[in-house]
Structure 1
Amino acid sequence: MEYIIIFLIGICATTIGTLAGGGGLISLPAMLLLGMPAHSAIGANKVSNTVSSFSSFFHLYRTKRITWKEAYWIIPVSIFGGMSGGFLASRIPADKMMILALILLTFAFITSFIGKGSFTGNGLLKINKISLPGLYGIGIYDGLFGPGQGTLMLYLFGHLNISYLRAVGFVRLATFSSCIGAAAMYIAYGKIIWPMTLALMLGSVTGAQLGVRIAEKLKPQFVKPILRVATVALIIQVFVRAIQ
């Protein structure tokens, strides 16, 4: 029964995470409530995210919604950003990281009302003075803290005039890139409880495929309201953790 619950958690969290980011709001607390040790729960999420993120990216790549020529540079930038964030994490106090997360998420929420991005554009993803530092900066944030990485990236791609479906594909590739190194470390240090992790992974892959197919049908005018709800939920979670 426990494995079925974890499988369902994976479906729910990754479906939401694919559409708007913030899937970790569901999966990580749920795994902890089921009694999984913290490091094992984080490791299970990293392993499942690695596989599920690539599966949704590959679906959009296979159906020619995105091209490798646009996407390839996301991988080294996200990996390097995540490594930079991991390096800084040991030097920045936890309470300062919480403040940084609250500032970034609040800024993203406010700019969603005044920004030009509407996810209806047909722009191409190129390396420029906004996309490169933006992706690198979010990669640092992911390595430092994590929750909200996908949501922040969706805001960035919306600002860059990228259509919603293609933005989802780019976010999933970035998530794959940032998670693969962390997943390898958790595996190497023996933190993975494989039966639970595999149940979560199967649910996550299912959720990723469900999420990307919902995204294919989602009208652009509904994207920002969904993102705003996810952002507010993230802000509340971070604030609660900050005052505990």
Structure 2
Amino acid sequence: MHLGPETYALLTLTAFVAGFIDAIAGGGGLLTVPAMLWAGIPPIATLATNKLQGTFSSGTACFNFSRKKMIDWRTYWPTIVAILLLSALGAFIVQSIKAQVLNLIVPVLLILIAAYVLLSPRMSDEDAHQRLSVGGYTPIGGAIGFYDGFFGPGTGSFFATSLVALRGMGLIRATAHTKAFNFTSNIGSLIVFALGGHMMVLLGLCMACGSMIGAYAGAHTAMRFGAKVIRPLLVTISLALTAKLLWNALS
């Protein structure tokens, strides 16, 4: 598929904004996925390319948290293996769905995830009571990994919320492990998408550069721009884009 240089520039700028927002409030995929669909990129190529750019962003964050020894790899390796395998399965299954069906499924999923991001409860930085053991949490983490391989936007919020609610983690520890889990699910699904030949590599790399720069800027301005401002903006833009996609699919 041929895209003009202006489309590359706009999508890279979108990735920058998404990376910036993701560092503050999460949910950056709610911008990149609708934007690529708006540009006329087929749904399966959109999901594959978004996974490529997202892998760079989550990998950078995962490396930084791991370097600070904030990720307990030894305890959570069974969860990581489950996420890796099930994210690959999700990516494999989504490639077998017809494009016409994906044109309807993707906007509906975006609306649901936007509602979740808007309505999700605030989380504190204090550790709390663990409701599930690591073994009990592993199937849940694997299921979220499957979702990330199948679709993706909102995955980080799902990981973070479940770690806080079920594993009793404070927000900082939950965020660190979320980046590790998200990077794992990105890798698993990225491999399958790459083998399927649906990925627009040059666009994905351009957007990856924008996303990483945006994430860096967002991390350094998080104290100045609060999530309470960014989150409604993110949801509003996503719903506007999704409404257009649904209108196109239904008409």
TM-score by length of 1: 0.71
2:53 is matched by which residue type in structure 1?
A: S
Q: Deviations over 1:52-72 (max 9, x none)?
A: 111011112213333433554
Residues 76, 228 of structure 1: CA spacing in aligned structure 2 closer, same or farther, 3 A cutoff? farther
Moved more, 204-213 or 226-235: 226-235
Residues 203, 83 of structure 1: CA spacing in aligned structure 2 closer, same or farther, 3 A cutoff? same
- 1:203-242 equivalences under 5 Å are 203-214=210-221, 217=223
Identity of aligned residues (%): 26
Taking only aligned residues, the RMSD between alpha carbons, in angstroms, comes to 4.0
**Contact residue 8 and residue 203 of structure 1 kept, 8 A:** yes
- Aligned-pair CA distance for 1:9: 1.5
1:77 is matched by which residue type in structure 2?
A: A
1:165 match: 172
**Aligned with residue 201 of structure 1, among 185, 196, 208:** 208
- Aligned-pair CA distance for 1:126: 6.0
Structure 1, unaligned runs of 5 or more: none
> Is 1:25 equivalent to 2:15 in the alignment?
no
Structure 2, unaligned runs of 5 or more: none
1:132 match: 138
> Is 1:119 equivalent to 2:124 in the alignment?
yes
> Is 1:4 equivalent to 2:9 in the alignment?
yes
Matched residues in 2 for 1:135 and 1:227: separation? 24
Residues 178, 136 of structure 1: CA spacing in aligned structure 2 closer, same or farther, 3 A cutoff? same
Moved more, 102-111 or 8-17: 102-111
**Contact residue 81 and residue 137 of structure 1 kept, 8 A:** yes
1:54 is matched by which residue type in structure 2?
A: G
Residues 55, 137 of structure 1: CA spacing in aligned structure 2 closer, same or farther, 3 A cutoff? same
Matched residues in 2 for 1:40 and 1:103: separation? 21
Aligned residues: 236
Residues 111, 10 of structure 1: CA spacing in aligned structure 2 closer, same or farther, 3 A cutoff? closer
Matched residues in 2 for 1:35 and 1:110: separation? 30
**Contact residue 53 and residue 211 of structure 2 kept, 8 A:** yes
